[in-house]
Amino acid sequence: MRRLLLFALLLAGAARFSMPQEATARRLPRFEAGIDVTQLNVSVTQGRQFITGLSRDDFAVFEDGVRQQISLFIPENLPLSLVLMLDTSTSMTEKLATARDAAKRFVNTLREEDLAEVVQFNDRITTLQEYTSDHAALTGAIDRTEAGGPTALHNALYVALKDLARQKKSGELRRWAIVLLSDGDDTASLVSDEQVIELARQTEIHIYAVSLGSSRPGKSFTQAAYLLSTLANDTGGRVYFPNSLSELERVYERIAEELRTQFSLGYVSNNARRDGKWRRIVVRLPARDDVEVRHKIGYYASAR
């Protein structure tokens, strides 16, 4: 019964998500048939500053300890496709107005070629606005969020990852991300946190999470704090634990800045085996030991 309910949940989500036909973006470069290109979106920071202006030769990519040849390098700001997810459970009632304002300012940082979708979730998942570049439509959807009900965080993330992964298969050169705001632990999901983490590793979509209710790791490591921290680390995103609602706008600004300053790299693995096993990735800047480099931590090799 649990599996049937989950299947129904995914079917309901799939019916709501569709990429508009007018959306345009460059396609991935063509490689020989059967060749898999591993793609990476890489953020480089020095302190709180995002580093730009780097070249292909500045980077070194290692898979399972073996250096790889970078065959794709895009330093420019690619179009975005992202899902903006807002927790609208009952516990968000007094926080929702501030959350709406911060989310709308985030939307206003998006460019004409960027696409976003607005999803609210409590014990149900509701798409308030499908993918569009129309700021007025996106902000109008944010204004329609309403608080009430328990929190099905795992369900919401699972459906969003599945649906965004379907859009990702289009082969367009875009950056794909989920930007999530939540204020508490899951209380109503059919999906476990382990299932969400495994799916996030498979879909390789960046997750940026803002946790208003979970304590920072090292203090009181709640279920939600563990899940969001793991998702962000594994996918190359980031999790934020603002101390107050007044910090929320700045957090969204930080996420928008990171998405605009990433480097896109790609390589064809030296390991030709398609065994479905996990491959660990490390990206370094050999000439710079004063920077932090963040990216997805690995991927599953395609099985034949």
All domains of the chain, ordered by start, with CATH?
Answer: 38-76+275-300 (no CATH), 78-260 (3.40.50.410)
DSSP-derived secondary structure letter, 58: G
**Confidence category of residue 188, pLDDT binned at 50, 70, 90:** very high
The owner of tokens 């979730």 is 121
How many angstroms separate the CA atoms of 119 and 80, rounded? 17
Q: Which two tokens stand for residue 267?
A: 């390589």
pLDDT band at 25 (very low <50, low <70, confident <90, very high): very low
62 confidence band (pLDDT: 50, 70, 90): very high
Tokens of 187: 């209380």
Among candidate residues 155, 160, 180, 181, the one with its CA nearest the CA of residue 91? 181
pLDDT cut 70: percent of the chain above it? 85
Strands 238-240 and 206-211: parallel
Cα separations in angstroms, 224 against 36, 184, 295: 34, 6, 22
In this prediction, residue 169 carries a pLDDT of 80
Per-residue pLDDT tens over the stretch 244-269: 999 999 999 999 999 999 999 999 99
Over the stretch 126-183, which tens digit does the pLDDT of each residue have? 999 999 999 999 999 999 999 999 999 999 999 999 999 988 887 788 899 999 999 9
